[in-house]
Amino acid sequence: MSRTAAQLGAVEAAADIRAGRLSSEALVASCLERIALREPEVQAWAWINPDQAIAEARARDREPVRSPLHGIPVGIKDVIDTCDMPTGYGSPIYDGHQPAADAACVAQLRELGAVIIGKTVSTEFATRHPNKTRNPHRLTRTPGGSSSGSAAAVADHMVPLALGTQTSSSVIRPAAYCGVVGYKPSFGMINRAGIKFLAESLDTIGVLSRTVGDAALLATQLAGISWNPAAAALSRKPRIAVCRTPFWPLADAAMQAALISAADRLKNAGAELSELELPAMFADMNDLQIAISSYEFYRALSHERIRHPGLLSASLSARIAAGGKVSRSDYEAALAATSRCRTWIAAAFAGFDLIIAPSAPGEAPELSNTGEPTFGLMWTLLQLPCLTLPCGSGPTDLPLGLQVIAAAGRDPDLYDGAVWIEQQLAR
């Protein structure tokens, strides 16, 4: 059976558009057909206007190709501002809110010729309180948070690319639960102007896609980074450190087995494998992330907690209140401890190219919560580029994810290694 245009990846679709085999209108129309079919069940979208999306695609078809993203539909997480679409930040406080300007990343996408197809559902202010989206693999399970709509939409072939954000594990976890690629770049690589800030020292714009190459395509275009996928295929096999992390007991048996099995497969394929044992100070990393993010949440959401406390969920209100109890001295001590860990891990990368670790504790849990961010907190706090790849399935046949991590600022190295790992895991 032939594939529909909506099933194409971004790199494939871009090649077809450049060659004249596919129009942006046909691609967008195919995505909209998929959305119309599946959205009543999956509920991945906070806002979408099919007529507007088709009009944008037709405009792209009348123009010369501007970039490799020309004519490609992209979903935008609903904490990222759009000047012609409402941005509700996942909260009733901002129901119908219309920003005056696009976020920098959205403006860049338009400049590159991408089609902004709509706004994907976010949890409340990109925190842990669930929203309406369901996991497309099983509608009774969570898609994860907070980039829930972006992960579900990409996984269900509603759109080839979507933007997400990550403060703790908000790209990595939903991608793992939905069985897609989730990529959190090095901190600050994609400009954050125009997003709803939660934690200024942690918030990072990321990408949801179905392949490593697609994620790299979007990120490199936004960041102005050069990366040659053909050269990556010819590069040497990576040196990989297996890191169980201090939180290994919190991974279920299926996730532990998936990591060990993946490591064996990569070793058999020629990778140089080693074990990374982290010093004792790394056991505090998750607590440090929570202290730093809570302190920053309390201040970033000052307007909402002061003016609209009754419209905040009980869970977010509790997190905000906890942040108000973190003193400045405790916050600065947490930053200092984090800095020591960043220095250690930077030096450790001299011995390997990549780290592999769990992406989440296991399969997606039930809809009542978005899952635990346990295996994303530390790497986000370290400001390292991270990417999750589908890595088998758990006891109820739902996806598991393998997290791949590179040194800070070495995102092209992450693409190179992750492409190779992706190829081995697909065999």
pLDDT of residue 233: 65
* Number of separate domains in the chain: 1
143 falls within a domain: yes
320 falls within a domain: no
List Cβ neighbours of 92 (8 Å cut-off, separation of 6 or more).
311
CA dist., res. 85 & res. 98, Å (int): 7
pTM greater than 0.85 (yes/no): yes
Q: Looking at 24, 91, 122, 146, which residue is catalytic?
A: 146
118 falls within a domain: yes
Q: What is the 3-state secondary structure (H, E, C) of the chain?
A: CCCCHHHCCHHHHHHHHHHCCCCHHHHHHHHHHHHHHHHHHHCCEEEECHHHHHHHHHHHHCCCCCCCCCCCEEEEECCECCCCCCCCCCCHHHCCCCCCCCCHHHHHHHHCCCEEEEEECCCHHHCCCCCCCCECCECCECCCCCCHHHHHHHHCCCCCEEEEEECCCCCHHHHHHHCCEEEECCCCCCCCCCECCCCCCCCEEEEEECCHHHHHHHHHHHHCCCCCHHHHHHCCCCEEEECCCCCHHHCCHHHHHHHHHHHHHHHHCCCEEEECCCCHHHHHHHHHHHHHHHHHHHHHCHHHHHHCHHHCCHHHHHHHHHHHCCCHHHHHHHHHHHHHHHHHHHHHHHHCCEEEEECCCCCCCECCCCCCCHHHHHHHHCCCCEEEEEEEECCCCCEEEEEEECCCCCHHHHHHHHHHHHHHHCC
Supply the mean pLDDT for the chain: 97
Instruction: Specify burial of residue 343 (Cβ count, 10 A radius: 0-12, 13-18, 19+).
Output: exposed
323 falls within a domain: no
Is 77 annotated as catalytic?
Answer: yes
Q: Looking at 24, 150, 169, 170, which residue is catalytic?
A: 170
382 falls within a domain: no
Question: Per-residue pLDDT tens for 255-295?
Answer: 999 999 999 999 999 999 999 999 999 999 999 999 999 99
**pLDDT (tens digit, 0 to 9) for every residue of the chain, 427 residues total?**
468 999 999 999 999 999 999 999 999 999 999 999 999 999 999 999 999 999 999 999 999 999 999 999 999 999 999 999 999 999 999 999 999 999 999 999 999 999 999 999 999 999 999 999 999 999 999 999 999 999 999 999 999 999 999 999 999 999 999 999 999 999 999 999 999 999 999 999 999 999 999 999 999 999 999 998 877 766 779 999 999 999 999 999 999 999 999 999 999 999 999 999 999 999 999 999 999 999 999 999 999 999 999 999 999 999 999 999 999 999 999 999 999 999 999 999 999 999 999 999 999 999 999 999 999 999 999 999 999 999 999 999 999 999 999 999 999 999 999 999 999 999 8
129 falls within a domain: yes
Question: Per-residue pLDDT tens for 312-360?
Answer: 999 999 999 999 999 999 999 999 999 999 999 999 999 999 999 999 9
Could you list the residue range(s) of the whole structural domain that residue 62 is in? 5-176+203-231
Q: Looking at 24, 30, 77, 184, which residue is catalytic?
A: 77
Supply the CATH number for residue 164's domain.
Answer: 3.90.1300.10
43 falls within a domain: yes
Is 196 annotated as catalytic?
Answer: no
383 falls within a domain: no
Is 237 annotated as catalytic?
Answer: no
